[in-house]
Amino acid sequence: MRQDSRHEDLADDVHGRAELAEGERLDQLLAAAPSGTVYDPDADDVVQAELAAEAAAAADREAAVREAQRIAARADELQALRELGTLEQTEPRDGDEAARDELTRRAGGYVQADVDAWLARALAAHLGHYRDPAAREAAVGLLPPPVLDHASLLDELAHLAPGVDMDQLAFAARLATTEPEAAGDLAALLARASSGAS
């Protein structure tokens, strides 16, 4: 049996096919309902599920925009602190790993050595949100290996020389920046040496 011409036109495009399928679904829905039933979208589970999915997607998009705005604002704040020369006196907050990534993105991928050193020191010294072991564990998946290796090296050096001032370990930042693999290797060597000595 041939479809009438308006249905043939609809069948030629994806949107038209979707309309046809929806029309057929509604016809079947009404055919199964008691005689005289008027279609009510509020009672249509399929429509309500679609509306709920659209609302959830819109809420997710709004949350993503708010999060991006929060990250951008924190990146602006960190940039201002570095320009004032007070970044080192600032404790990191939850989400600063994303702010670091935003600063790096703004710089065209250039590594932000001062921000990386700041985060490594805070991670090694358990400052700010890194006081929480869960935050330190999460940092492993949020920070790049050179920052993590730098933090590990600082941690091992601090164990080797208890009470050492972090300012005295500035050479670790230079090593982590210029030779990140060497920093990681040295941290691993010190860790093995300290575990063997204990």
Q: Token pair for residue 77?
A: 């704040």
The DSSP call for residue 38 is: P
Tokens of 186: 């040295």
Query: 4-38 burial by CB neighbour count: b if 16+ within 10 A, else e?
Result: eeeeeebeeeeeeeeeeeeeeeeeeeeeeeeeeee
What integer pLDDT is reported at residue 150 of this predicted model? 87
Evaluate whether 97 touches 119 at the Cβ level (below 8 Å): yes
Q: d(Cα 141, Cα 135) in Å, to the nearest integer? A: 10
Where does the chain have alpha helices with state H? 5-11, 14-32, 45-84, 96-106, 113-125, 133-142, 145-160, 170-178, 180-197
Q: How far is 150 from 40, CA to CA, in rounded Å?
A: 63
- Residue 137: predicted pLDDT: 95
**Dist. CA 172–CA 158, nearest whole Å:** 11
Tokens of 172: 């670790």
The one-letter code for the residue type at 164 is V
Q: What is the pLDDT of residue 111?
A: 77
pTM tops 0.85: no
**pLDDT for 165:** 67
Using a 10 angstrom Cβ sphere, with 0-12 exposed, 13-18 middle and 19 or more buried, the burial of residue 58 is exposed
Give the total residue count for the chain: 198
* pLDDT string in tens for the chain (198-residue length): 444 555 555 555 777 787 887 778 877 777 777 777 777 778 777 778 888 888 888 888 999 999 999 999 999 999 999 999 999 899 999 999 999 999 999 988 787 889 999 999 999 999 999 999 999 999 999 999 889 988 988 888 877 767 666 666 677 766 777 676 777 777 777 777 777 655
User: What integer pLDDT is reported at residue 1 of this predicted model?
Assistant: 42
| Nearest Cα residue to 158 out of 128, 131, 126 | 126
Which amino acid belongs to residue 154?
A: L
Domain boundaries, the chain: 45-197
